[in-house]
Amino acid sequence: MTEVLRVDPGDPDPDAIARAAACLRGGGLVAFPTETVYGLGVHALDREAVVRLFAAKARPANDPLIVHVTTIDALALLVAGVPRDAHALAARFWPGPLTIVLRRSRAVPDEVTAGLDTVAVRMPSHPVARALIDAARIPIAAPSANLFSRPSPTDAAHVLADLDGRIDMVVDGGPAHVGLESTVVDLSQDPPAVLRPGAVSLEMLRTVLPNVTVRVSSESDSDALRSPGLMSKHYSPRTPVTLYEGDAATALTAMTREAQTRVNRGNTVAVLAFAEDAARLAQLPVRLVQLGRESDPSEVAARLYAALRECDDMGVDVILCRVLTTHHALTPAIQDRLLRAAAGRIVQGS
């Protein structure tokens, strides 16, 4: 049985937090909200508990975890040293949706780092995550609280859909407001590189680290093995997704044509639709799933994973979507997750 503890996201009940923290200290698995997505927390220094976490998620052992803290001092136990660049990033972006990869200390179990000589660390800003880590008084390793290869959960219902009966508790603090996982930046190598785009954009990082680069990877490339979350097809719904690239009008036309062709062939089709396209798409015999306004990418980011899960739950044959054309700090992160969901089925509008 998985116990659900409902709390006020801004001011969580200390008794509920104390129970969840005691569960974590005892080696239990507790899902909790962060500002990005829900995490599945475990005592980061409890090897056996970490092994149970990998089993609960059906996650391959070669995919390392992020360790969550609430103070810079807590890093001393986890890393070999905190370089000046890490202090500078922390001062600007922590607490918040940024994960920093640093050389690890010996205290961190190999199970957490997948045997790498580095460890990923993050200081979340969500009041529930912070209260829980503070009450537990231990570093908390937490991957996204989904079954491996499913979209990350942005509310407690998504966590239960994947993990009910497989974990001890869910602290339900309402929806995660960013909706996409943290930016991961690797400081263990020179120059530092972004391994996963998130709400802290490359431009934002460059204000602190002018030489930071982006690592582009594919499944065949050895960089993907350095951070398995980078493998394409990692964030995927069960239903195949086809993604339409190009300017809005061209992509919408190509997508509409394909939707009609599929329907004529007897397929059921879901379209992930920006509000701006809704009127045009409403004429098609397809299921429309709202993605929010293209003009407001933060709405799209917050909706994306829930929308992909809705499509799966409908049991349609195919999901169609077009890329976001708005320039915004979140655009590269949204595009990255859409590309992964589509796992290579990309159509260039023409």
Which residues of this chain interact with Mg ion, rule CB under 5 A?
144
Residue (of 235, 229, 211) closest to 305 by Cα position: 235
Residue (of 195, 279, 179) closest to 229 by Cα position: 195
Site of tokens 């001393």: 76
CB 280 within 8 A of CB 256: yes
* 36 binding partner (options ligand TXA, Mg ion, none; Cβ < 5 to 8 Å by kind): ligand TXA
Give the residue with the Cβ less far from ligand TXA, 186 or 245.
186
Interface pick for ligand TXA out of 12, 75, 113, 274 (rule CB under 6 A):
113
Shortest distance (Å) from residue 144 CB to ligand TXA: 4
Contacts of 141 (CB under 8 A, 6+ apart): 41, 42, 43, 44, 50, 53, 65, 66, 67, 68, 112
> Can residue 116 be called a binding residue for ligand TXA (CB under 6 A)?
yes
Give the residue with the Cβ less far from Mg ion, 99 or 144.
144
Count of residues touching ligand TXA (by CB under 6 A): 29
Contacts (CB under 6 A) with ligand TXA, residues 215-254: 226-229
Give the residue with the Cβ less far from ligand TXA, 322 or 340.
340
Bridge partners, 140 (sequence order): 43, 68
Letters for 57-96 (x = contact with ligand TXA by CB under 6 A, - = none) are ------xxxx------------------------------
CA distance 180 to 185: 15
Interface pick for ligand TXA out of 31, 86, 101, 338 (rule CB under 6 A):
101
Shortest distance (Å) from residue 244 CB to ligand TXA: 26
Give the residue with the Cβ less far from Mg ion, 125 or 227.
227
CA distance 335 to 104: 31
Contacts (CB under 6 A) with ligand TXA, residues 133-152: 142-144
CB 183 within 8 A of CB 96: no
Give the residue with the Cβ less far from ligand TXA, 94 or 274.
94
Give the residue with the Cβ less far from ligand TXA, 186 or 294.
186
Interface pick for ligand TXA out of 70, 118, 154, 239 (rule CB under 6 A):
118
- The distance in angstroms from the start CA to the end CA of the chain is 52
How do 140-141 and 66-68 pair as beta strands? antiparallel
Long-range contacts of range 278-282, CB-CB < 8 Å, 24 or more positions apart?
Answer: 280/252, 280/256, 281/256
* 236 binding partner (options Mg ion, ligand TXA, none; Cβ < 5 to 8 Å by kind): none
Give the residue with the Cβ less far from ligand TXA, 5 or 133.
133
Q: What are phi and psi of 253, to 5 degrees?
A: -65, -45
Interface pick for ligand TXA out of 16, 21, 23, 39 (rule CB under 6 A):
39
Residue 281 tokens, joined: 């798409």
> Can residue 195 be called a binding residue for ligand TXA (CB under 6 A)?
yes
Contacts of 190 (CB under 8 A, 6+ apart): none
Residue nearest to Mg ion (CB): 144
Give the residue with the Cβ less far from ligand TXA, 170 or 269.
170
Go through the chain and tell me how many residues it has.
350
List of residues contacting ligand TXA (CB under 6 A)? 34, 36-37, 39, 63-66, 99, 101, 113, 116, 118-120, 122, 142-144, 181-182, 184, 186, 195-196, 226-229
